[in-house]
Amino acid sequence: MKTVLITGCSSGFGLEMARYFLERDWNVVATMRSPRTDLLPASDRLRILPLDVTNEASIRQAIEAAGPIDALVNNAGIGTAAPVELLSMDTVRDVFETNTFGTMAVTQAVLPQFRQRKAGVVVNVTSSVTLKPLPLVSAYRASKAAVNSFTETLAAEVATFGIRTHIVLPGRAPDTRFGENGHGRMHGFDHEAYAPIAQQLMASLTDASAPITKVEDVNEAVWHAVTDAHAPFRIYAGADAKAWAAE
């Protein structure tokens, strides 16, 4: 029976991925910064481990506790939105620490076991906002675009060891708490110079007629990446993400 380690499982995509893999008889190591045992059904195939992807010691302890794994899904991430002029550089650093450096650090920690076994899959969940420019999300977009580039180079390095790498790019997912969780890192929407841009962006994000990404779309994309040796390097998850990719 194979084992997947998923980061960022306290809510949203990560929580639903963990549930999805459990339902398909995988062993699941669900990691969270603050572990909770009431989020997923009890199972002898489930382990919930603490993991702060911005902390080197936490990463080392989690990977050691997890033991051998067959797949890593780097899903942990945080959002932010603000005009570039009004960005807090502390917030930018926090976003990159989690979204970019955290992904790189956790990947680095699992590569030795994958290389030694000549098998393993790394799936990095980024975002369809990397496909075209949008106002107010420069820091978030940059952090995810960096992961895309990192994963491309990683693929070139580790394919010879039998390690597969993939990027899953979801679109807007209003059914998750991602926007709510990032609310404290949203600034400048009421600034007189940028309010019209913010209003236009919010109108597009709340358009009920626009295509969206559902958690099922992301579950299926990640499952495809992990289980299908012929899966493409980039997998677009959600009707909106697929539409942007086709532009």
Catalytic residues: 140
- 3 CB-near residues (< 8 Å, 6+ apart): 26, 27, 28, 29, 66, 67, 68, 69, 70, 71
Q: Which among 19, 53, 12, 11 has a CA at the least distance from the CA of 33?
A: 53
Q: Is 79 exposed, middle or buried (0-12, 13-18, 19+ CB in 10 A)?
A: buried
What residues are paired with 163 via a beta bridge?
A: 120
Residues 6+ apart with CB under 8 A from 121: 70, 71, 72, 163, 164, 165, 166, 225, 226
Name residue 73's beta-bridge partners: 6, 123
